[in-house]
Amino acid sequence: MNPQDLQYTVEHEWIRTQGEVIRFGITDFAQDALGDIVYVSLPEVGDQLTAGQPCGEVESTKSVSDVFAPVTGTVTARNDALDDEPGVINSDPYGAGWLVEVAASGDGTQFLDAAAYEAHTAAL
Amino acid sequence: METTRCTPLFAWHTAAGAKMGDFAGFQMPLEYPSGTVTEHRAVRSGCGIFDVSHMGNLRVTDPAAVNRLLTNDVTRLAPGGLQYTLLATPTGGVVDDMMITRTGPTELTIVPNAANTEAVMAVLSAEMGAAVADESDQFAIIAVQGPASPRVLAGLGLPTDHAYMTAVTGEFEGAVVTVSRSGYTGEHGYELIVPADSAVALWEALAEVPEVTPAGLGARDTLRTEMGYPLHGHELTADIGPVEAMLGWAVAWDKDEFRGREALVERRAAAGGRRLRGIILSDRGVPRPGMTVRDASGAVVGETTSGTFSPTLRHGIALALLDRAVSPDDPVTVDVRGRQLAGTVVRPPFVAASPK
């Protein structure tokens, strides 16, 4: 269910490393737990992120959840399409529902592979 | 007190994959796999069914005594008539809001909120002793809401043509079903009171109709918020009463006696205070209860009591208690976790209501 070629965090985010740039989003588990996502707040291009710190919000009809920066670095892209269609995160969390791309300049939080992440969610 | 209770439909909800959550001590469906927004839209455009069996069911056999307590006037109710009414506190707040139905010449049925059934029962039984009985466990309540609801019920052989805010009885597989033309969504709809042991059969028959979508408490909340309908614990509390919540129409001011009358008359006549209004956000974001509201000058003018994303308007909406000086069309900001989001004061409903 969770793509094998991605890495994951205990905060239910996925990470795709493309050279120096990493793209991240929230996992299928996270979107399902939140329910219908109706609003997304993302950092702007050029913003500095610090690994483990909140950098945005994903909000559903019933609750709000922080987005945590998985790495330290500079935002190089944000998924503007989510401003108008945040529900794409529900329908395609690992594809069109990506959140942010960051040029990493420092440490990341601890990453898990798909099997370790599934073990993590199974224990919740 | 703290043990979790289940409605007769609990097993159906879990088998259907509903996300369950605790609500007033009951395990209730928050949403089904279809999701809150889809369920919301189904009610606005077709037909949704809700399990609201957690709500109470009190049988009253002393109309005069209950009329000395509740704010509205049950003597105005013809047999089969429904009325929205309140049980106030002695200081002008609210113990609970509820629907009351005249089920017979000397018999009334009250449906209080799940969380308040015990409190309502305590006040009523202190006044009328054995003339009030808690029959909550004997019945399930299924709300059938939306423009397609008459067609759905007619297909099950249940009556549908009676007037808004009246109830008649029908029959389903040998069980007597009370069919009320009422609801909490703003749509044409019905609330079915059915013996607990017939609830599953009735629910399954409804759910099998292709145009019916089971809906959870998430959609129930977004639907009622779009209508500006109060929810006890938010727009009505021990402090916030009918005067503040703009529910003076549910108070029979000309009645000599009802609980809290003196305090309510005083609150009604007092200058100042706050009143319940709606706010539509123009900025993107979702307001939640307990957020600070400021006017254009930055002065605090009130606080939100409920807030959500309106699936119909695709904007954040809130109900808020605001200073009386604040009027519809005034610009305000809502403090959403430090972001000051712009919005406009409105008079609810946010979405045109068509319950009749």
Do B73 and B46 sit in the same domain of this protein? Answer: no
Structural domain contains residue B170: yes
pLDDT at B342 over 70: yes
Give the residue numbers spanning the domain of B71.
58-118
Task: Name B254's Cβ contacts closer than 8 Å, sequence gap at least 6.
Answer: none
Least CB–CB distance from B308: residue in A35, A41, A61: A61
pLDDT tens, A58-76? 999 988 999 999 999 999 9
Q: A46 phi and psi, to 5 degrees?
A: 100, -20
**Minimal Cα distance from B225: which residue of A?**
A61
Q: Does A59 touch chain B (CB under 8 A)?
A: yes
pLDDT confidence of A107, banded at 50, 70, 90? confident
Q: What's the CATH code, domain A7-122?
A: 2.40.50.100
Q: What is the pLDDT of residue A36?
A: 96
Q: Which of B83, B118, B153 is the last residue of a domain?
A: B118
ipTM field: 0.87
Instruction: State the count of interchain CB pairs (< 8 A) between A and B.
Output: 41
Structural domain contains residue B63: yes
Do B109 and B190 sit in the same domain of this protein? Answer: no
Based on the structure, what is the number of domains in chain B?
3
Do B161 and B280 sit in the same domain of this protein? Answer: no
Structural domain contains residue B221: yes
**CATH number reported for the structural domain that contains residue B171 in this entry:** 3.30.1360.120
- Which residues in chain B have their CB less than 8 angstroms from residue A60's CB? 36
Helical pair B217-227 and B36-45, crossing angle rounded to 10 deg: 60
Do B216 and B341 sit in the same domain of this protein? Answer: no
* Record: contact A59-B35, CB cut-off 8 A: no
Instruction: Report the mean per-residue pLDDT for chain A.
Output: 95
> What residues does each domain of chain A span?
7-122
Least CB–CB distance from A36: residue in B35, B285, B316: B35
Do B214 and B75 sit in the same domain of this protein? Answer: no
Do B29 and B160 sit in the same domain of this protein? Answer: yes
- Which residues in chain A have their CB less than 8 angstroms from residue B337's CB? 57, 64
Do B13 and B150 sit in the same domain of this protein? Answer: yes
**Minimal Cα distance from A39: which residue of B?**
B285
When scoring B30, B32, B43, B286 by the number of chain A Cβ atoms within 10 A, the one with the most, hence best to mutate, is B286
When scoring B37, B281, B315 by the number of chain A Cβ atoms within 10 A, the one with the most, hence best to mutate, is B37
DSSP A112: B
* Record: contact A59-B218, CB cut-off 8 A: no
pLDDT tens, B271-291? 889 999 999 999 999 999 999
> 3-state DSSP call for residue A124?
coil
* Record: contact B35-A38, CB cut-off 8 A: no
- Which residues in chain B have their CB less than 8 angstroms from residue A37's CB? none
3-state secondary structure string, chain B?
Answer: CCCCEECCCHHHHHHCCCEEEEECCEEEEEECCCCHHHHHHHHHHCEEEEECCCCCCEEECCHHHHHCCCCCCHHHCCCCEEEEEEEECCCCCEEEEEEEEEEECCEEEEEECHHHHHHHHHHHHHHHHHHEEECHHHEEEEEEECCCHHHHHHHCCCCCCCCCCEEEEEEECCEEEEEECCCCCCCCEEEEEEEHHHHHHHHHHHHCCCCEEECCHHHHHHHHHHHCCCCECCCECCCCCCCCCCCHHHCCCCCCCCCCHHHHHHHHHCCCCEEEEEEEECCCCCCCCCCEEEECCCCEEEEEEEEEEECCCCEEEEEEEEECCCCCCCEEEEEECCEEEEEEEECCCCCCCCCC
Q: B67 phi and psi, to 5 degrees?
A: -70, -20
Do B148 and B223 sit in the same domain of this protein? Answer: yes
Q: What is the pLDDT of residue B164?
A: 97
